[in-house]
Amino acid sequence: MHLAVLLSASALFVATFALDNGEMRTPPMGWLAWERFRCDIDCEHDPKNCISENLFMDMADRLSEDGWRELGYVYVNIDDCWSSMKRDKNGRLQADPKRFPGGIHKLARYMHDRGLKLGLYGDMGTHTCGGYPGTTLDKIEIDAQTLADWEVDMFKFDGCYSNATEQEKGYPLMSKALNATGRPIGYSCSWPAYQGGLPPQVNYTQLGEICNLWRNYGDIQDSWDSVLNIIDWFFENQDVLIPAAGPGQWNDPDMLVAGDFGLSMEQSRAQMALWAIMAAPLFMSNDLRTISSGARSILQNKMAISINQDAMGIQGRRILTEKSQIQVFWRPLSNNASALVFFSRRNDMPYRYQTTLSKLNYTTGSYQIYDVFTEKTMVLKDSTSFVVSVNPTGVVMWYVSAPAKLNHRQFYKGGRLQGSGYDDENAVPRVFL
C-alpha cells in the first residue's frame, strides 16, 4: 500500500518534469537516411542515391504506398549533409539549393500531405560531423525558430565539434528554444553518446526532462558485428538505462539496418526482436524502393511492432545468459502480458534450449504463447519442461498473454489440434518450433 502510494507519487513527479511537448509517447518509427545513404551528394553521377529532395520524396512514397505508414512508420528523417555550406544573409540555415530546390518547408508539406512527418538534423557545435554549418550557442534560438517555420516535426541534435561545457549548456537550451516555438518537435539528443553514455558524466534524469530520445552509444554500421556490439553495450548497462526510458523519453540504440546488405534473415529478426525488447525507436535506414520481401515482412511484423510500441513503455531486460550461449530477454507489457526472446549467440547449428516458464519467472499457471515470427499459438503451463530451437545468430520471440485458466476448447479449431499440447509434467519435452 505504502509502496503503491510512493510509486504513484514519484510517477507524478516524473510527469511534471518530463519534456512537456506531448511527443513520442511510444518509441518513434520511420526512416532515417544516414546508415544507408550517408553523405552521398554526388547527384550528377548517382541521382538515385544522393542526398536530395528526390530521395526523401521516394521514401515518403514507399512509406505511404507499401503499408509502412499504417504500421506506424511515419517519420522521414534527413540526416547530415543537407544544408548549404553557408547560412543565409539573415543568419539562418538553408538547404543546399541544388539538391533541395524546393527547400525543407516544401518537403515537410510533402510529408504532411501523406500523413507523414519530417525530421531534420543539426549539430551542437561549430560544424556538423560531416563538416556543414553547426549550431553554436548563439545560434540556438534562430535555428529552433527556423525548424518551426519549416514545419519540421523532429530534430536530431548531434554533438560533433563542441566540448562538454558547451553541450551542457546547448542541449537544455535547444530543448527550451524548441518548446518556445510552440510547435511540437520531437527532440533527439546525441549528447550522452559524446559523454560515454554512463553516469556520472551522463545524467539520465535530466535527459528525460529535456529530450524525447537520445543516442547513448556509437554509430551502427551495416554488419552483424556492429549490431552485436550495440546489443552487448545496451544490455550490459541495462540497470542504468532501463529506468531512464518511458513514454516520451527513449534510449536510442540507433537505426534498424535490416533490409540492407550486412544481416542475414535470422540476424534481421534478432535486431527487430531486441529493438522491440529495448523499446527502441524504430528508424529503418535502408532502401525501401528495392527492399527484399523477407526483410520487409520482418520489419512489418505486427506483433513485433506492437511489443515495441507497448503503451506502458517499460524497457525490457536480459534475464539470463547461459553457458550454452543462449540468452533470454524479457519485457513487461500492458494487460499483464510480456514478451520473451530466446537469442542464440552460437555459430554452429540450431540449439535446442530446454527450460520451463517457471525458470523464467512465470509462476502463476498456464500461459498462452504467440510465436511472433512463426505466428503459431500454444499454451504452456509454468512447470512444463519445453524445448525451443534457436537458430545460430537468430531468435525465437514470444508474446506471452496473462495467465489464464486452461480452456480445452481453444486447442481445437475446425476439429484440428492447434499448437502443441500442454501441462503433462512428465512428458518428454516437445520441440515445437
- Closer to ligand GLA by CB, 234 or 342: give it: 234
Q: Which three cell numbers stand for residue 307?
A: 511489443
- Closer to ligand GLA by CB, 36 or 331: give it: 36
Q: Which among 178, 180, 82 has a CA at the least distance from the CA of 131?
A: 82
Stretch that binds ligand GLA, among 45-53, 87-95, 124-132, 296-304 (CB under 6 A): 124-132
| Stretch 128-157 residues interacting with ligand GLA (CB under 6 A) | 128-130
| Stretch 164-193 residues interacting with ligand GLA (CB under 6 A) | 190
- Closer to ligand GLA by CB, 80 or 310: give it: 80
Stretch that binds ligand GLA, among 70-78, 82-90, 127-135, 408-416 (CB under 6 A): 127-135
| 219 touching ligand GLA, by CB under 6 A | yes
Q: Which among 150, 74, 149 has a CA at the least distance from the CA of 114?
A: 74
- Residue where the block lists cell 533470454: 328
- Closer to ligand GLA by CB, 219 or 423: give it: 219
Member of 31, 34, 214, 362 binding ligand GLA (CB under 6 A): 34
What is the nearest approach in angstroms of ligand GLA to the Cβ of residue 84?
A: 16
- Closer to ligand GLA by CB, 282 or 326: give it: 282
| 79 touching ligand GLA, by CB under 6 A | yes
- Binding mask 355-394 toward ligand GLA (x if CB under 6 A, else -) reads ----------------------------------------
| 252 touching ligand GLA, by CB under 6 A | no
What is the nearest approach in angstroms of ligand GLA to the Cβ of residue 50?
A: 15
Q: What's at 423, amino acid-wise?
A: D
- Closer to ligand GLA by CB, 252 or 266: give it: 252
Q: Which three cell numbers stand for residue 302?
A: 505486427
| 37 touching ligand GLA, by CB under 6 A | no
> Omega of the bond prior to 200 within 30 degrees of 0, cis?
yes
What is the nearest approach in angstroms of ligand GLA to the Cβ of residue 147?
A: 16
Roughly how many angstroms between the first and final C-alpha of the chain, as a whole number?
Answer: 42
Could you tell me which residues are beta bridge partners of residue 430?
Answer: 386
- Closer to ligand GLA by CB, 254 or 266: give it: 254
Stretch that binds ligand GLA, among 126-134, 166-174, 224-232, 401-409 (CB under 6 A): 126-134
Q: Which three cell numbers stand for residue 63?
A: 512509406
- Closer to ligand GLA by CB, 99 or 318: give it: 99
Stretch that binds ligand GLA, among 123-131, 173-181, 238-246, 343-351 (CB under 6 A): 123-131
Member of 53, 80, 151, 287 binding ligand GLA (CB under 6 A): 80
Catalytic positions, written as ranges: 158, 219
What is the nearest approach in angstroms of ligand GLA to the Cβ of residue 285?
A: 9
| 158 touching ligand GLA, by CB under 6 A | yes
Q: Which among 181, 400, 209 has a CA at the least distance from the CA of 310?
A: 400
What is the nearest approach in angstroms of ligand GLA to the Cβ of residue 158?
A: 5
What is the nearest approach in angstroms of ligand GLA to the Cβ of residue 227?
A: 15
Q: Binding residues for ligand GLA, per CB under 6 A?
A: 34, 79-80, 128-130, 158, 190, 219
